Structure 1
């Protein structure tokens, strides 16, 4: 069964790649393809686009499709491809999820609708209708800090039972009791991905499948290595990497994601550091802090002193 195969393949660090823009604010498709090549060469286990880090609410429907299609071609089957297809609009979510299936995505990540704060009963109806509209694995994306509503474990468990193609969840949820109960109620084979950087390692310890972490945008090799170490049984190395990444994790969320991530990638020469309003780059002071941290991690050369 395709869903069982997907459960076996969707493991490790699935990088939620940013959407690069040029100076005029247009999507930079060449930069996106280059980022994806860099990720895969760095050991990233899977690619996602048009999730939170990809600024989907700043893209038109057609742009989202173009980003998904460009990414699918760039991935070229080398690793699993899991685009974000969710929206606050139900019909749009179904349209985007159908498009993901049409272009051959390995799964679709569907966010809990944001802003309108649906009830648990409405969330169940929404996700069930999306799942029934396609024949593609679905990873639900629960991020209550952004959506203003938490998908409760019982609702998720009901969906997992009633919809065989709902195979996992990305939990950007700081409530670690909640994520433990996800596996308890949905089954130990349900795919649990962390979207909280400081919970990426702890979720692996309880049986999680991996992470979809914004930090992977900046250090894809390190985030992938953490997962590789865990899966290979090198717990000490995984723990060391968990703590090694903490300072970088913190600075990349010094302001709203993906502002700090795009600033960092711009400093590293990977993209033009551009966001679309109402999002923007971090303040100058925060950018200086980001730069200092990148230097500390060996991602940038230390600037020469201005004093002779």
Structure 2
């Protein structure tokens, strides 16, 4: 079984969870979605993240979704599974379950009740003790969790806990945090930094020496191309492609609507059969759908111009 390491790079796509309109998990769309992500160039997948509607799944459904995706991936890329939960019992149970199924590691976000630097460090120390030798991704997403992690706190967690192999950087604004962590002498080892927020700041993050993205967007091939071009030093081409997709990426980042927009676009592309969110969940108005359609049309025109 492949384990997640500090060398993780490229694009780890945050997978949506496809549903039928009646709320059942759409397993066939899961298979099609995995095939699409891999064909698009994903170097890894992350499932049961915040945009995967994980809180709406039962434990049994979570197991079934992870097992289905892992079977379809068949070891071709590492799969990270989100195991964030209010209590340690759930985290421990989910971690054991997904690692037994063949996951490469887990992702843990801090609970909202953490208020001080010491509480944050203590929490992740206890998580690391709880899950043993399982590699984990530290998810830093204060816009959703409400937990502000100072750069030196992230550094302390990384330096103290060798099983913390990756930072999912999703602070906003947060570019200075990347620069701080990449400064000589701050970390006792180089870890992977993969960035979120739908790729909205991916060019700047790559310029600050991030290793890639761990996020979702209905056109993951954009993120793959940006990372590849920045990695080989072709910044202008990376920026040109990024700018072609930016209007739709920006539209998809609307709070409360983003996942509905992403699922609508994925369904429009034929990747999933339905754009359904499991209740409670937002649905798009006819006007919003028309706006997405117009953005896609303009995006395709711009890509043809770029060649």
Residue in 2 aligned with 1:179?
178
Q: Secondary structure at the match of 1:251?
A: helix
SS of residue in 2 equivalent to 1:109: strand
Q: Which residue of 2 aligns with 1:129?
A: 126
Which residue in 2 is equivalent to 1:238? 238
Count residues in correspondence.
293
Pair 1:250-2:276 in alignment: no
For 1:159 and 1:240, the matched residues in 2 are separated by: 37
For the aligned residue pairs, the C-alpha RMSD in angstroms reads: 2.1
Decide whether aligned partners of structure 1 residues 139 and 163 sit closer, same or farther in structure 2, where only a CA change above 3 A counts. Answer: same
Contiguous gaps of at least 5 residues in structure 2: 302-307
Q: CA deviation at 1:248?
A: 1.6
For 1:209 and 1:190, how far apart are their aligned partners in 2?
9
Q: SS in structure 2 opposite 1:280?
A: coil
CA shift for structure 1 position 282: 2.8
Distance 2:23 2:115 in 1: 33
After TM superposition, the structure 1 stretch with the greater mean CA deviation from structure 2, 117-126 or 245-254, is 117-126
DSSP-derived class of the 1:83 partner: strand
1:34 corresponding residue in structure 2: 32
1:213 aligned residue: 215
| Preserved CA contact (<8 Å) 1:33 1:74 | yes
Q: TM-score, normalised by structure 1?
A: 0.88
> Could you tell me how far apart the structure 2 residues matched to 1:152 and 1:61 are?
33
The residue matched to 2:200 in structure 1 has which SS?
helix
Per-residue CA distance 1:207-260 (angstroms, 9 max, x = gap): 111111221xx2122221111112222222122222222112111123423121
Give 1:57 deviation, angstroms. 1.5
Q: How much has 1:67 moved relative to structure 2?
A: 1.5
Per the normalisation by structure 2, the TM-score is 0.88
1:285 is aligned to 2:287: yes
Q: Conserved in 2, the CA contact under 8 Å of 1:80 and 1:106?
A: yes
Correspondence for 1:6? 5
- Tell me if 1:227 matches 2:224: no
Rounded to whole Å, the distance in 2 between the matches of 1:124 and 1:282 is 40
CA distance in 2, matches of 1:188, 1:243: 34
Q: State the distance in 2 between where 1:166 and 1:27 align.
A: 32
Cα-to-partner distance string for 1:160-183 (whole Å, 9 max, x where unaligned): 112101012111111222332233
Structure 1 gap ranges (5+)? 300-308
Contact 1:255 1:282 in 2 (8 A): no
Shift of 1:129: 2.1
More displaced 10-residue stretch of structure 1: 133-142 or 251-260? 251-260
* Segment of structure 1 superposing worse, 237-246 or 175-184: 175-184
1:305: which partner in 2? none
The question of whether the paired residues in 2 share the 8 Å contact of 1:200 and 1:211 is answered with: yes
CA drift at 1:72: 1.2
CA distance in structure 2 between the aligned counterparts of 1:15 and 1:144, rounded to whole angstroms: 20
Larger RCO, structures 1/2 (Cα 8 Å, 6+ apart): 2
- Which residue pairs with 2:196 in the alignment? 195
1:141 and 1:171 in contact (8 A); partners too: yes
In 2, Cα distance between equivalents of 1:99 and 1:230: 37
Alignment match of 1:141 (pick from 129, 139, 142): 139
The aligned residue for residue 267 of structure 1 is 268
1:117 deviation in Å? Answer: 4.3
Distance across 2 between alignment mates of 1:88 and 1:118 = 15
- Residue 303 of structure 1 is matched in structure 2 by none
* Contact 2:12–2:213 (CA under 8 A) maintained in structure 1: yes
Paired residues of 2:178 and 2:208 also in contact (CA < 8 A): no
CA contact (8 A) 1:98 1:134 kept: no
Q: Distance in 1 between matches of 2:200 and 2:189?
A: 22
Query: For 2:69, what is the secondary structure of its paired residue?
Result: helix
Distance apart, 1:151 and its partner CA: 2.2
Separation in 2, partners of 1:75, 1:221: 18
Q: 1:55 maps to which residue? A: 53
